[in-house]
């Protein structure tokens, strides 16, 4: 590939173990718009262009196709297994006793791997909705977060580290009150936590809570997820890449506003995991971490774009008596209680 970037030139972040991992990765959620073949094709191109971190998930429905790409890359000597950092997640319907192992075993089979580098709990509760369901649908079995239930799932994940099936474990879609409730009881602390992070939604408190405890924040929807499923779009959502200040900074650097979102993310310190099936986009997303950094005053202007613009609200995970999607996110600083 002509446009390849030397992985050694991509800045690194340190995990709590001291191990270095790339400051950017590639997302693999097709948002119901892109086929598994398009996405695995992008993963193949991304490996060749220098990406070394991939964010997968059982629920994305494409691990079989991505696994074929990994196997081919290893057999052709494009990259060695230990040069990649591969993460997967188990879905909300796999929280029962023994289910986490079953889900990881399936992911390992599909991805054609002996181990993953990180295993995330995709959401901190077992609330299930069918893939592609309508945004207003509710599952009568859904319920609020319960720390004891979460910890029984985390114990299963800790055992998978002991077994060598995953090197690190992580959480996703957490809040500070939920972390306060569970972290003191985790035998193995999370190495990474995935959270929605983009200029218009910076989650400063959660971000800082994690970094102060040696947990790396991994930022999903780093470009403001312009191609997210329609069920995740509301009329009041702000489009990051159309924000005038961001567009102005992009013009000054002669790049697409998406690239400015990623430069901001990397310079702030989180690991963004942008998605794209287009070679020109995913190459510029990786390359932008190696050149032409944002100026301190540009970083300050971007910090001021925060406007609490949560895009992945999670409303399909609400329990029947919940009033609003905000009930999922503990906005009062306490975990939303279960009603009797
Ligand atoms: N843990 C969780 O619960 C969770 C939730 C959501 C996502 N994720 C992970 O985070 C990843 C990223 O999130 P996301 O896919 O929702 O959103 P995103 O990365 O913010 O946005 C992806 C879209 O941005 C556009 N884009 C990418 N690079 C571009 C460039 N250089 N120039 C112009 N446009 C560009 C593409 O749209 P066009 O096709 O229009 O170019 C692409 O489809 C996912 O793939 C998934 O791995 C995790």
Q: What is the CATH number of the domain that holds 300?
A: 3.20.20.100
Nearest CA to ligand 1 atom 7: 220
Residue 84 CA to ligand 1 centre (angstroms): 20
Residue 163 CA to ligand 1 centre (angstroms): 33
Return the DSSP state at 241. G
Which ligand 1 atom lies nearest to the CA of residue 224? 20
Q: How far is the C-alpha of 104 from the C-alpha of 95, rounded, in Å? A: 12
Nearest CA to ligand 1 atom 38: 227
Does 60 qualify as catalytic in the annotation?
Answer: yes
Q: Is residue 137 part of a domain?
A: yes
The total number of structural domains that make up the chain: 1
Largest CA distance in the chain: 62
276 within ligand 1 shell (Cβ under 6 A): yes
Residue 281 · residue 258 · CB < 8 Å:
yes
**β-strands 53-55, 26-27: how paired?**
parallel
28 within ligand 1 shell (Cβ under 6 A): yes
Residue 61 · residue 89 · CB < 8 Å:
no
Nearest CA to ligand 1 atom 26: 276
Q: How far is the C-alpha of 68 from the C-alpha of 112, rounded, in Å? A: 7
Give strand ranges (E) for 33-130. Answer: 53-55, 85-90, 116-121
Q: Is residue 204 part of a domain?
A: yes
Q: Is residue 332 part of a domain?
A: no
Return the DSSP state at 233. -
Residue 58 · residue 91 · CB < 8 Å:
yes
Q: How far is the C-alpha of 112 from the C-alpha of 74, rounded, in Å? A: 11
**pLDDT of res. 63:** 98
Q: How far is the C-alpha of 56 from the C-alpha of 283, rounded, in Å? A: 19
Residue 88 CA to ligand 1 centre (angstroms): 16
Q: Is residue 334 part of a domain?
A: no
Q: Is residue 333 part of a domain?
A: no
Catalytic residue among 60, 207, 209, 282: 60
Residue 87 · residue 52 · CB < 8 Å:
no
Q: Is residue 201 part of a domain?
A: yes
**pLDDT of res. 309:** 98
**pLDDT of res. 2:** 62
**pLDDT of res. 31:** 83
Q: Is residue 336 part of a domain?
A: no
* Range of the structural domain that residue 323 is part of: 7-327
Angle at alpha carbon of residue 13, lines to 313 and 4, rounded to 5°:
95
Q: What is the helix (H) or strand (E) element at residue 20, kind and residue range?
A: strand 20-22
Q: Is residue 262 part of a domain?
A: yes
Cβ atoms within 10 Å of 97's Cβ, excluding its own: 10
**pLDDT of res. 321:** 86
Angle at alpha carbon of residue 218, lines to 93 and 84, rounded to 5°:
90
Chunk the chain into consecutive blocks of 10 residues (it has 340) and report each block's average pLDDT, rounded to whole numbers: 89 98 97 94 98 98 98 98 98 97 98 99 91 77 94 98 98 98 98 98 98 98 94 94 98 98 98 98 98 98 98 92 91 78
């Amino acid at each position: 590939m002509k446009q390849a970037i030397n992985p050694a030139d991509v800045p690194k972040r340190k995990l709590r173990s001291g191990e270095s991992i790339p400051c950017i990765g590639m997302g693999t959620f097709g948002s119901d718009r892109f086929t598994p073949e398009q996405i695995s094709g992008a993963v193949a191109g991304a490996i060749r262009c220098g990406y070394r971190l991939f964010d997968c998930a059982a629920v994305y429905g494409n691990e079989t196709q991505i696994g074929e790409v990994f196997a081919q890359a290893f057999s052709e000597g494009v990259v060695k297994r230990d040069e990649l950092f591969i993460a997967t997640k188990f879905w909300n319907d796999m929280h029962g006793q023994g289910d986490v192992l079953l889900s990881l075993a399936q992911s390992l089979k599909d991805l054609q791997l002996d181990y993953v580098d990180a295993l995330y709990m995709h959401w901190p509760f077992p609330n299930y909705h069918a893939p592609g369901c309508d945004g207003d649908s509710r599952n009568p079995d859904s319920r609020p977060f319960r720390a004891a239930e979460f910890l029984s799932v985390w114990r299963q994940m800790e055992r998978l580290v002991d077994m060598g099936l995953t090197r690190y474990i992580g959480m996703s879609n957490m809040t500070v009150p939920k972390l306060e409730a569970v972290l003191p009881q985790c035998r193995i602390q999370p190495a990474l936590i995935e959270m929605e992070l983009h200029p218009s939604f910076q989650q400063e408190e959660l971000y800082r809570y994690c970094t102060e405890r040696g947990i790396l924040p991994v930022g999903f929807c780093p470009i403001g997820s312009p191609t997210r499923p329609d069920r995740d779009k509301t009329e009041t959502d702000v489009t990051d890449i159309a924000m005038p200040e961001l567009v102005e900074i992009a013009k000054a650097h002669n790049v697409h506003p998406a690239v400015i979102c990623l430069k901001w993310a990397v310079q702030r310190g989180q690991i963004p995991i942008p998605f794209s099936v287009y070679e020109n986009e995913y190459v510029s997303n990786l390359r932008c971490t190696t050149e032409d950094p944002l100026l301190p005053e540009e970083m300050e202007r971007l910090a001021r774009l925060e406007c609490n613009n949560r895009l992945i609200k999670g409303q399909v995970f609400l329990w029947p008596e919940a009033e609003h999607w905000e009930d999922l996110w503990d906005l009062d600083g306490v975990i939303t209680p279960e009603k009797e």
